[in-house]
Amino acid sequence: MTLTRKHLKELRRIVGERGVRADANARSAYESDGFMLQSARAEVIVLPRTTEEAAASVRVLRDAGLVVVPRGAGTGLSGGARPTEGGAILGTARMREVLEVNEVDRYARVQAGVVNVHLTSACADKGLFYAPDPSSQTACTIGGNVGNNSGGPHGFKYGSTTRHVRGLTLVDSDGNVSELGGPLADPAGGLDLVGPVVGSEGMLGLVTEVVVNLVPTPESVETLLCMFESLDACCDAVSEMIAQRLEPSAIEILDRLTIEAVEASVLRAGYPDNAEAVMLVEVEGGAAEVEATREDVLAIARSFGAFDARSTSDAGERKRLWAGRKGAFGAMGRIAPDLYVADVVAPRTRLREIVATATDACHERGLKLSNVFHAGDGNLHPNISYDRRDEDEVKRVLEAGRIIMEACVAAGGSLTGEHGVGLEKQDEMCLVFRDEDLDAMNDLRRAFDPSGFWNPGKMLPVRGCREIHTPPLPREAGSAEAAGASAT
Amino acid sequence: MSAALDACSSLGIAVDEAGGPDGGPLALPRTEAEACELIGSFEDTSEGARLAPLGLGSSVDWCRPEQAAGDVRTLWLSTRSLVEAQGGVGVVEYVPGDGTLTALAGARMTDLRAVVAEGGHRITPAIGTDSTLGGVLAAGRSGGDRCAHGPGRHHVLGMRAVDGGGRVARSGGRLVKNVTGFDLHRLHVGARGTLGVVLEASLRLVPTPEAEALLVSEPLASDAEAVALALEVRADQRVRPRQLVVRDRRVHVVVAGRAAQVELERAAAEAHLGSAEVIAGDGSEERALAAADRAPAMRVLVAPSRVVEATRAIASALGETAGIVIEPDAAIVDLPRSLVDGHAEAWTDALLPALDARGARVESRCPLEPTVAAALAERHARATTAPERAWTGRLIEAFDPLHVLRTSGFPAGFDSDR
């Protein structure tokens, strides 16, 4: 079977004309996510507005014999939100309603396509906020955050998305809808089915609504900027802060190349032009707590060679400092057309060592490396600027990326801290997990999705012919594209 | 069962013939390999018996051995013997500089707390009773500190577990941030050993606070009034309680953190509580742990906005509330066995319908009278969808295909003779 005119007509009936895209332009726009090194086109992109529309669309796509890739804003950096070959993309871009904000019980119920920062805006007047704050939070969606168990700078204090999801609505491959968990504190009487869905990279079903935890806005917040003459010293200062058990809400590091890119961009944050690295720290809580922690942070920074430091509680200045940090990836566009954002985790006692490995790997291959990362969590983002039109440079970028991953794993670290495995790190899963571990993960996947309908070919490496996932059924030449061309 | 005991013998595993909590046999493996081999071969030799992990037994009531022992015998598998054979307290790795701990499932929480205290850390969940790490995780327990740190499951970084087929699988890791692969460990937490026996787990630790104070109010007229007062404290932005518990009609508030901040929060909390006993410094942690400690027979989960109503409904239906412990922030009401046994009619005719009307969910953690069990099963059936039941069923088939790890009544809707 394949996607026929009848299927397209039925999809349009369900989600409306604007919700079905099968033309070449649209398929091209969805052929990759933030991991631009590889791409593949879906046969059709479906954009429902409600859970009911999503469930009905699933039934049509299943009937058409297509596999489905769930997708939020497509800001993911591991290739998880694009197809491996053919199939359909089921996007949540039109599911943008904040359905409920409950001030007393401190939760919100949102559609999966709600943009992360919009949720916090929606509950700000109630003295609450949504804690996970990925750098892409002005674009990325809550559903995408659930798929990748996304973090962000303030994950140091508040943890990643999984600690903030109380419940979710999941559509299975038959188009059935289930509400898992909910506003109440714990699973009752059964297995915790919410836990494994968070971070499952869209492989267990389509998340259409999410019940998230909201956190009271702190009484006092200060942002600190500490300047260092050496990136190593900056890393060591962070390790010492962790060892001293300080509890700021975020500890970030930006190196010189990143600072230069940010300062040359529209996001100019006022970072110093004479520092090899800066540490951006946020301290929050009661006023006395903020004061005590600020002094401890500054003392450690100075003892590790910080030549200058400043702190601010001014909302405008704080916003500017954070805009520079969160816009750093975008600012790298000034260095080269493309950016490879590595996402690895190292034990927090070994930050300097992994940064040095990344520096050497890139230097030896003539690559431009910049570092901007969640130092407090040990979540490193060595960023390599490159031009994807240069095949040799692409090859060197991937080599360097693999060396960084291997070094992290050898140091007791991990492949990914917040961007997911997707397609990019699928093969490297065998560096971290044994066959038995991967078999058990496959069992989990099959328990939710026995037919391999959801996002096949991602995360779990193919280790033998028996594991080759259900491919999309062959498409009759031109059928979907031809039928959809007039719909755009 | 005799064949299973013979299998223990042939594997060189010692058996304490009456060492189980039900007087049944307790296998005492010395190595992980022995334990895994016993589990992997169990179905062939079990003659219909089941196998259940046993730490110190503090959560055993939750796994309902009495019911399982009715027709089905249990071979208990000690996780403590694996620790004792190694000669230490069960710490695999404690990294003070990274704030992480990896320990064997059979490690005592009290021992682990002592080890990490040396490095300036605490374990969350903060559990006061003498339990093992594996027992705490399998039972899905959280500590009194969940008000500040969230439920215990949020601090499990990774795990190794052996499933019912004898397969050892690992997920997560020892890092505070990591999204590599599926979070299988989240499935095992709270699964009561039905998907596998936890062998080892890694936890994210929290810093020992610079200062800490426990405030205990005078007893109020009712639990509902105490809960209302606790919610008042919760709503005060000047106070960020580490722990907020109502027990014996008294509100227990723990404030902790930087010394100067604790002084401010203590004063703010006292303004709500009026004349309160204040315990600060040495002994405050132990008293706080004791205030939150309980082994509930029945748990009621409700929204914080309805926890006062739910508490009143419990008092009205049962006529008493002695022994209940309430966490108003998480909106959990835990009832002791004395409020379950002998109250079947009150539960089925008055309390469950009243809780239904307040959007509550009820979870049993002890054997129930048949009418109450049936009423709860019916509620669970209404609250779950066919796909949820199918996913749960397939997970059980994948991780315990021969049903050697079954536990009566859990997951809800899956019978012990499944």
Q: Give the residue from B39, B177, B186, B199 with the most A CB atoms within 10 Å of its CB, the best one to mutate.
A: B177
Select the more confidently predicted residue: A2 or B88: B88
Round to whole Å and give the CA distance between A66 and A451.
11
Provide φ and ψ at B401, rounded to 5°: -60, -30
Round to whole Å and give the CA distance between B131 and A371.
44
Per CB-CB distance under 8 Å, the chain A contacts of B397 are 447
The full 3-state SS of B128-143, as one line of letters, equals CCCCEHHHHHHCCCCC
Cα A22 from chain centre: 27
Contact in structure between B32 and B106 (CB atoms under 8 Å): no
Does an H or E element contain A196, and which? helix A194-197
Give the pLDDT means over successive 10-residue stretches in chain B (418 positions): 86 94 93 94 79 90 56 87 96 96 97 97 92 95 93 97 96 96 97 95 97 97 97 95 96 97 97 94 90 92 96 95 94 95 96 93 88 90 91 96 85 62
Q: Which of residues 285-314 of A touch B (CB under 8 A)?
A: 285-289, 291-293
Cβ-nearest to A191 among B167, B191, B265? B191
Check CB contact of A103 with chain B, cutoff 8 Å: no
∠A417-A421-A425 over CA atoms, to 5°?
110
Distances (CA, A) of A13 to A9, A17, A89, B196: 6, 8, 17, 47
Select the more confidently predicted residue: A473 or B302: B302
Residue A6 contacts by C-beta under 8 Å, 6 or more apart in sequence? none
Round to whole Å and give the CA distance between B32 and A206.
38
Contact in structure between B375 and B345 (CB atoms under 8 Å): no
pLDDT in tens, B308-342: 999 999 999 999 899 999 999 999 999 999 999 99
Radius of gyration in angstroms for the set of CA atoms belonging to chain A, rounded to a whole number: 23
pLDDT at A485 over 60: no
Round to whole Å and give the CA distance between A62 and A11.
12
Residue A264 contacts by C-beta under 8 Å, 6 or more apart in sequence? A331, A334
Strand partners, A252: A280
Provide φ and ψ at A468, rounded to 5°: -65, 125
Please judge whether A189 and B412 are an interchain contact, meaning their C-beta atoms are less than 8 angstroms apart.
yes
Q: How many CB atoms lie within 10 A of CB B322?
A: 11
pLDDT at A28 over 50: yes
Round to whole Å and give the CA distance between B79 and B93.
18
Residue B294 structure tokens: 């309980």
pLDDT at A484 over 80: no
Round to whole Å and give the CA distance between B162 and B140.
18
A381-388 average pLDDT score: 94
Look at the alpha carbons of A352, A354, A357, A358 in this order and tell me if their dihedral is positive or negative. negative
Provide φ and ψ at B109, rounded to 5°: -60, -35
The DSSP letter of residue A462 is P
Round to whole Å and give the CA distance between B10 and B25.
16
CA A383 to chain B, closest CA, distance in angstroms equals 19
Radius of gyration in angstroms for the set of CA atoms belonging to chain B, rounded to a whole number: 22
Residue in B closest to A445 by C-alpha = B182
Residue in B closest to A195 by C-alpha = B186
Round to whole Å and give the CA distance between B414 and B391.
12
Round to whole Å and give the CA distance between B251 and B9.
53
Look at residue A285 in the predicted model and tell me its pLDDT.
Answer: 96
Look at residue A144 in the predicted model and tell me its pLDDT.
Answer: 98
Per CB-CB distance under 8 Å, the chain A contacts of B120 are 245
Residue A376 structure tokens: 């407090």
A356-372 average pLDDT score: 96
User: Strands A206-213 and A220-228: what pairing?
Assistant: unpaired
pLDDT at A481 over 60: no
* Strand residues in A6-104 grouped as ranges (E): 20-21, 44-46, 68-71, 88-91, 98-102
Residue A218 contacts by C-beta under 8 Å, 6 or more apart in sequence? A284, A285, A286
User: Strands B100-104 and B91-95: what pairing?
Assistant: antiparallel
Look at residue A7 in the predicted model and tell me its pLDDT.
Answer: 97
Look at residue A469 in the predicted model and tell me its pLDDT.
Answer: 45
Ordered DSSP codes for A325-364:
HHTHHHHGGGT-SEEEE--EE--TT-HHHHHHHHHHHHHH
Look at residue B409 in the predicted model and tell me its pLDDT.
Answer: 76
Please judge whether B332 and A420 are an interchain contact, meaning their C-beta atoms are less than 8 angstroms apart.
no
Look at residue A1 in the predicted model and tell me its pLDDT.
Answer: 60
Order of strands, sheet of A44-46, starting from the edge strand that comes earlier in the sequence? A20-21, A44-46, A88-91, A68-71
Round to whole Å and give the CA distance between A54 and A71.
12
Q: Which of residues 378-397 of A touch B (CB under 8 A)?
A: 378-379
Cα-based torsion angle of the residue sequence A247, A250, A256, A257 in order, rounded to the nearest 10 degrees = 150
pLDDT in tens, A223-279: 999 999 999 999 999 999 999 999 999 999 999 999 999 999 999 999 999 999 999
pLDDT at A378 over 80: yes
A175-196 average pLDDT score: 93
Round to whole Å and give the CA distance between B62 and B135.
10
Q: Which of A256, A257, A70, A263 is nearest to A168 (CA)?
A: A70
Q: Which of A356, A272, A285, A364 is nearest to A321 (CA)?
A: A272
Look at residue A477 in the predicted model and tell me its pLDDT.
Answer: 40
pLDDT confidence band for A482 (50 / 70 / 90): very low
Q: Which of B325, B214, B208, B228 is nearest to B269 (CA)?
A: B214
Contact in structure between B269 and B220 (CB atoms under 8 Å): no
Contact in structure between A246 and A140 (CB atoms under 8 Å): no
Per CB-CB distance under 8 Å, the chain A contacts of B302 are 184
Provide φ and ψ at B7, rounded to 5°: -60, -40
CA B329 to chain A, closest CA, distance in angstroms equals 9
Q: Chain-wide mean pLDDT for chain A?
A: 93
Look at residue B64 in the predicted model and tell me its pLDDT.
Answer: 59
Does an H or E element contain A180, and which? strand A177-181
Distances (CA, A) of A174 to A61, A313, B76, B396: 10, 52, 40, 21
Residue with tokens 């503090």: B58
Helical residues (DSSP H) of B87-192, grouped into ranges: 109-118, 133-138, 146-149, 184-188
Residue A10 structure tokens: 């039925």
Round to whole Å and give the CA distance between B402 and B418.
10
pLDDT at A62 over 50: yes
Q: What's the helix, strand, coil split of chain A in %, to 5?
A: 40, 20, 40
Helices A287-303, B259-273: axis angle to 10 degrees equals 170
Round to whole Å and give the CA distance between B304 and B44.
49
Residue B309 structure tokens: 């109503």
Q: Which of B97, B113, B100 is nearest to B177 (CA)?
A: B100
The SS3 call for residue B207 is: strand
Cβ-nearest to A414 among B178, B398, B412? B178
Provide φ and ψ at A399, rounded to 5°: -60, -50
Strand partners, A309: A226
Residue with tokens 């999503």: A54
Residue in A closest to B120 by C-alpha = A245
∠B140-B142-B146 over CA atoms, to 5°?
145
Per CB-CB distance under 8 Å, the chain A contacts of B301 are 184-186, 188
Check CB contact of A101 with chain B, cutoff 8 Å: no
pLDDT at A475 over 70: no
Residue A74 contacts by C-beta under 8 Å, 6 or more apart in sequence? A30, A32, A33, A34, A81, A82
The SS3 call for residue A100 is: strand
Cβ-nearest to B260 among A151, A288, A459? A288
